[in-house]
Chains A and B, each alone.
Chain A
Amino acid sequence: MTGLVFDPLLSWPLVAAVAVLAVLIAVWSFWRGLRGWPLRGLAGLAAAAALAGPALESGIRNKLSDIVLLLDDRSASQSLPGRVGQTDAAVENLTRQLAALPDTEVRRISVTDDPDGTLIGAALSRALAAEPQARVAGVIAVTDGLAHDAPMLPADAPAPVHVLLTGQPQDWDRRLVIEEAPAYGLIGQPVTIRLRIEDQGEVPPEIAASPARLQVTIDGEPSRSLDLPPGVTLDLPVVPEHAGQNVVSIGFDAPEAEVPELTTRNNMAALQIQGVRDRLRVLLVSGEPHAGERTWRNLLKSDANVDLIHFTILRPPDKMDAVPVDEMSLIAFPTQELFMERIRDFDLIIFDRYRVRGILMPQYFDNIRRYVEEGGAVLVSAGPEMSTVESLNLSPLGAILPARPTGRIYEEPFLPRLTDDGMRHPVTAGLPGAPSDDSETHWGRWLRMSQVLPERGSQVVMTGANDEPLLILNRVGRGRVGMLTSDQVWLWGRGFEGGGPQLELLRRIAHWSMKEPELEEEALLADVAAGLTVTITRRTMADTAPPVRITGPDGRTETLALTEEGPGRHSARWTAPEPGLYRLTDGEITRVIALGPAAPREFEETVASPAVLGPLVEKTRGGVVHLSQGLPDLRMVREGRPAHGRGVAGEWIAITPRGAASTSGIMHRPLLPGWGWLLIVAGLALGGWLSEGRGWPRRRAA
């Protein structure tokens, strides 16, 4: 680090000119036969050298210590029995050995759980990037080798990478692998979950030969069980029974063996399949064209989930005109097909001001009644015809309708109001603009309705004139029926007296009757926010809601009281202690929710393996040491030599001291001080002058 540098006082051409001049003078002197010519020339050259400003430069160097990265894996898979102790012992031992080495620093890196698994690759890349490459003397990772971010691992390292593997040689594990699971499924249509059982590690032979007994539960209800040998892929059909979350949990019991499997936490998976409804088919039968007919049409046609089949009786059978058929645009009403053959294809049949006028035969109505009792739905939007002899109530369908007309019709303006039940019922609860005591503004009025007597068990959610029932809902068998005793909901759409939420009301009535889960009266809802926090809401028609009992994955139960939030809504927030399958029940409704990932990533694979870190170890000539065979010794070897080997005492691993140093400053020292140069030049010039005999020899001659 020491060297000669020039710092010329004049520019280089001038210095060169001086040197050339000196040589010329020497040549001229020689030619003239002057004896002092070499001294004259040297004097000139010395002057040129002085002008060039030669100086000595030297750096100040510091020796740098070596850095060893010591990474310990503290992820959940490292918490399996025995591994914590192994890790602690190895880390403590290494720390001690490293501390004994001269000029060696240790950088500790702890890798903990991440939602994406164990991210050793990222941690290692980050730690290496943070240190000067020239000082890294070794990397030692104490881990089970189960890193989930292989692509993030550095391709190479400046020093040997060693992996000290935890775990025991007899470790084995049997786990459930979900290869494919749909996130959505049509209700009632089977979806396929593809899965297999996988054995890893040193599986005892008697276990390897025996199949696992799989238990499948759907929403907490046991569905089926079957035996599956390991390594065989199974296509398991599962039917989502309802809209919204269907929680399918699949698991098997831990096999009995002398050495138990590493963990039972990967023996189960909870999958959530969102039940989606196929397009809904609605049959709308309008008894006559009237002002409100387009209201229903607009609603059902604008609903992307609904296939509407609409028939309007444009001409009753008892009216004829002389117009030839080919000049008319009327088609026959395919009653036999619709009401006998295809009726089960419909999710809802709406009778809009339908009057019984001999178009539909009594057996059709009887069939509609059966259809409802078996799970169908009928809505009646009744005009004044309901109070006449042509009323639907007088047909066989009347047996299941939620109210009977008295024959009286109120022809006066009235304000539709929600009943107490209506405030709670999801069909009417929260309708915007509902009349209330503390609000001046309210919906517009309607002008006509029929008086009815509600059937026992039905719910009156809206009332009209004289507080007579306006909207009545009921359940019949497995189906539902609804009745609107006025045909004037269209006035809301027209904005009469400000109008009202006509589309929203009709939409809710229609979807409630088609069993939309969001509109169920009695519902236990669990809204899973980010993480493990759940908002539990109980919607009910009753005044109070019982507390909810929560059963966790470990069988512990907890009771949660709900607070009333509004009419018929009780809720509470709750945070689960750990991921897993939780069963909520309040005695009537049971719901199963899965919190956290389907199967924790940490426990997907549990048998320690150097597979992920192996290539890096090999590339840097490091070593993989199984801690179950004892702790390795630590040595120092030169760079480029194998850093892992087996000695008499056992295995050893080595770090490579790098001998790195830093230059902390530069000393700049001129070769000669100014006066030194002056002495040389003057001395030489004087010498030349004297040697030419111009001094005392001339005096001698005199």
Chain B
Amino acid sequence: MRLVLALLVMIAAAPLRAQDPDPQLIRAADEVALAYVITGDARVDETSEAGLRGISDVLTDRTTVEPGQPIGIDLDRDDLSLLTFLYWPVTESQPLPTPQAYVRLNHFLRSGGMVLFDTRDGDIAGLGGPDGAEALQRLAAPLDIPPLAPIPRDHVLTRSFYLLDDFPGRYQGADVWAEAPPAGAEAAEGVPFRNLNDGVSPVIIGGNSWAEAWAVGENGLPVYTVGSGLDGEHQREMAYRFGVNLIMYVLTGNYKSDQVHVPTLLERLRQEEVIQ
């Protein structure tokens, strides 16, 4: 009887293994599609979708990265190993994902994926009133997140495509957090990060409501207003630039930090030629 059961399990397991992944996910892997977490709040999910579509369009227009249509991820169901970047807007109402989902999330973070947590409260955070901090804590507690620190000015994120000194979204000025540089790493010129996942911080946390700044409607026009007048449009442009830098950072790691050393390497080649 037990043998029959074991055989049944094997027969059941074999097709499970061979089950094809969701075609949407295959597409995401092929096209480097940006992904967002489906929170259950329809308005937030729509904004995420529109925001990622907006930044994908900007990337396609300006860079060699041409992401496909954004993809919504159900953390409880979907395999994250095909993804590279995950946008996670934090809402009060989102139910806690299952433990299995956290196992998948932790593996995703360890193997080189990145999650951008957006508390979308850059306008009210730190004023003492209710903000997204509590919800973020609730959602992120089971994750293996390294110690965090506000992004230092020499972080590669500030120059992975554009040169940036702030990371604005619909709001600006609030600190954005990433993996803290290890103690004493400041001395390492230009590369203040441990050589883990090619130095890519597994999470970026902020409250600047980036998806709202990036969002474009079906008609190709921005959905949300950012600031006011020309200043506001400048802020939106900077939000786009942050988005471009962020995706470049996810895809190329410390590439831009290394390029600091390329002239030195080439110089060394030249010198060796003189010596020989």
Which residues of A are at the interface with B, using a C-beta cutoff of 8 A? 281, 286-291, 293-294, 297-298, 301-302, 307-310, 312-316, 319-321, 323, 326-331, 334, 337, 342, 345, 384, 411-413, 440, 447-448, 488, 491, 493-497, 499
Which of B21, B107, B112 contacts A413 (CB under 8 A)?
B21
Q: Given A312-B252, A494-B81, are A323 and B162 also a contact pair (CB < 8 Å)?
A: yes
In the complex formed, the residue of B with least CB distance to A488 is: B29
- By Cβ-Cβ distance, the 7 closest A-B pairs, closest first, are A289-B251, A288-B64, A329-B159, A496-B81, A494-B81, A321-B62, A291-B84
In the complex formed, the residue of B with least CB distance to A316 is: B64
Residue tally, chain B, CB below 8 Å to A: 49
Q: When the two chains form their complex, are residues A330 and B161 in contact, meaning their CB atoms are under 8 A apart?
A: yes
Q: When the two chains form their complex, are residues A309 and B82 in contact, meaning their CB atoms are under 8 A apart?
A: no
Q: When the two chains form their complex, are residues A289 and B163 in contact, meaning their CB atoms are under 8 A apart?
A: no
Q: When the two chains form their complex, are residues A294 and B252 in contact, meaning their CB atoms are under 8 A apart?
A: yes
New A-B pairs, 6, CB < 8 Å, besides A329-B159, A497-B17: A289-B252, A293-B251, A307-B265, A314-B64, A327-B162, A327-B241
Which of A314, A320, A447 contacts B29 (CB under 8 A)?
A447
Max count, chain A CB within 10 A of own CB: residue among B64, B81, B269: B64
Which of A289, A293, A308, A494 contacts B111 (CB under 8 A)?
A494
Which of A291, A313, A342 contacts B251 (CB under 8 A)?
A291
Which of A301, A342, A412 contacts B266 (CB under 8 A)?
A342
Residues of A within 8 A of B256 (CB): 329
Residues of A within 8 A of B84 (CB): 291
A-B contact count (CB 8 A): 133
Residues of B within 8 A of A281 (CB): 269
> How far, in angstroms, from A448 to B29 measured CA to CA in the complex?
9
- Least CB distance from A489 to B in Å reads 12
In the complex formed, the residue of A with least CB distance to B20 is: A413
What are 10 pairs between A and B in contact, CB < 8 Å? A289-B251, A293-B252, A301-B198, A310-B259, A313-B64, A447-B29, A448-B29, A491-B82, A494-B112, A495-B107
Q: Given A293-B251, A321-B62, A413-B21, are A342 and B269 also a contact pair (CB < 8 Å)?
A: yes
* Any A CB within 8 A of the CB of B175: no
Residues of B within 8 A of A289 (CB): 63-65, 247-248, 251-252
Q: How would you classify the secondary structure of chain B's contact residues: helix, strand, loop or mixed?
A: helix
Residues of B within 8 A of A319 (CB): 61-64
Q: When the two chains form their complex, are residues B269 and A345 in contact, meaning their CB atoms are under 8 A apart?
A: yes
Task: Give 1 or 0 for each of B46-89: 1 = CB within 8 Å of chain A CB.
Answer: 00000000000000011111100000000000010110100000
Q: Given A312-B255, A329-B160, are A290 and B32 also a contact pair (CB < 8 Å)?
A: yes
Residues of B within 8 A of A323 (CB): 162, 241
Which residues of B are at the interface with A, using a C-beta cutoff of 8 A? 10, 17, 20-21, 26, 29-30, 32, 61-66, 79, 81-82, 84, 107-108, 111-113, 159-163, 195, 197-198, 200, 241, 247-248, 251-256, 258-259, 262, 265-266, 269, 272-273
> How far, in angstroms, from A286 to B248 measured CA to CA in the complex?
13
Residues of A within 8 A of B163 (CB): 326-329
Residues of A within 8 A of B247 (CB): 289
Max count, chain B CB within 10 A of own CB: residue among A294, A384, A491, A497: A294
Residues of A within 8 A of B108 (CB): 494
Residues of B within 8 A of A297 (CB): 198, 252-255
In the complex formed, the residue of A with least CB distance to B247 is: A289
> How far, in angstroms, from A297 to B199 measured CA to CA in the complex?
11
Q: When the two chains form their complex, are residues B63 and A315 in contact, meaning their CB atoms are under 8 A apart?
A: yes
Residues of A within 8 A of B259 (CB): 310, 331
Residues of A within 8 A of B198 (CB): 294, 297-298, 301
In the complex formed, the residue of B with least CB distance to A490 is: B112
Max count, chain B CB within 10 A of own CB: residue among A321, A337, A491: A321
- Least CB distance from B149 to A in Å reads 22
- Least CB distance from A420 to B in Å reads 24
Residues of B within 8 A of A342 (CB): 266, 269
> How far, in angstroms, from A519 to B62 measured CA to CA in the complex?
43
- Least CB distance from B241 to A in Å reads 7
Q: Given A328-B163, A329-B159, are A493 and B262 also a contact pair (CB < 8 Å)?
A: no
> How far, in angstroms, from A221 to B198 measured CA to CA in the complex?
46
> How far, in angstroms, from A247 to B197 measured CA to CA in the complex?
43
> How far, in angstroms, from A154 to B160 measured CA to CA in the complex?
74
Residues of A within 8 A of B10 (CB): 440
Q: When the two chains form their complex, are residues A294 and B112 in contact, meaning their CB atoms are under 8 A apart?
A: yes
> How far, in angstroms, from A384 to B162 measured CA to CA in the complex?
28
Q: When the two chains form their complex, are residues B81 and A314 in contact, meaning their CB atoms are under 8 A apart?
A: no
Q: Given A290-B32, A294-B251, A329-B163, are A411 and B26 also a contact pair (CB < 8 Å)?
A: yes
Which of B17, B32, B197 contacts A291 (CB under 8 A)?
B32
Residues of B within 8 A of A301 (CB): 195, 198, 258
Q: Given A312-B252, A342-B266, are A413 and B64 also a contact pair (CB < 8 Å)?
A: no
Residues of B within 8 A of A496 (CB): 21, 79, 81-82
> How far, in angstroms, from A448 to B21 measured CA to CA in the complex?
13
Q: When the two chains form their complex, are residues B64 and A287 in contact, meaning their CB atoms are under 8 A apart?
A: yes
Residues of A within 8 A of B61 (CB): 319, 321
> How far, in angstroms, from A357 to B175 measured CA to CA in the complex?
40
Q: Given A323-B241, A448-B30, are A328 and B161 also a contact pair (CB < 8 Å)?
A: yes
Residues of A within 8 A of B79 (CB): 496
Residues of B within 8 A of A286 (CB): 252
Q: When the two chains form their complex, are residues A411 and B30 in contact, meaning their CB atoms are under 8 A apart?
A: yes
Residues of B within 8 A of A345 (CB): 269, 272-273
Residues of A within 8 A of B265 (CB): 307, 309
> How far, in angstroms, from A302 to B161 measured CA to CA in the complex?
24
Which of B26, B64, B255 contacts A315 (CB under 8 A)?
B64
Residues of A within 8 A of B21 (CB): 413, 447, 496
Q: Given A289-B248, A313-B64, A314-B64, are A495 and B81 also a contact pair (CB < 8 Å)?
A: yes
Residues of A within 8 A of B269 (CB): 281, 342, 345
- Least CB distance from B22 to A in Å reads 11
- Least CB distance from B16 to A in Å reads 11
> How far, in angstroms, from A349 to B262 measured CA to CA in the complex?
16
- Least CB distance from B42 to A in Å reads 30
Residues of B within 8 A of A290 (CB): 32, 65, 251
> How far, in angstroms, from A291 to B163 measured CA to CA in the complex?
23
> How far, in angstroms, from A39 to B82 measured CA to CA in the complex?
130
Q: When the two chains form their complex, are residues A308 and B252 in contact, meaning their CB atoms are under 8 A apart?
A: no
Q: When the two chains form their complex, are residues A291 and B29 in contact, meaning their CB atoms are under 8 A apart?
A: yes
> How far, in angstroms, from A574 to B241 measured CA to CA in the complex?
68
- Least CB distance from A297 to B in Å reads 5
In the complex formed, the residue of B with least CB distance to A291 is: B84
> How far, in angstroms, from A328 to B158 measured CA to CA in the complex?
10
> How far, in angstroms, from A294 to B195 measured CA to CA in the complex?
12
In the complex formed, the residue of A with least CB distance to B249 is: A289
> How far, in angstroms, from A395 to B273 measured CA to CA in the complex?
30
Residues of A within 8 A of B248 (CB): 289, 314
- Least CB distance from B209 to A in Å reads 23
Max count, chain A CB within 10 A of own CB: residue among B66, B251, B254, B273: B251
- Least CB distance from A390 to B in Å reads 12
Which of B30, B111, B159 contacts A447 (CB under 8 A)?
B30
> How far, in angstroms, from A320 to B63 measured CA to CA in the complex?
8
> How far, in angstroms, from A331 to B163 measured CA to CA in the complex?
12
Residues of A within 8 A of B112 (CB): 294, 493-494
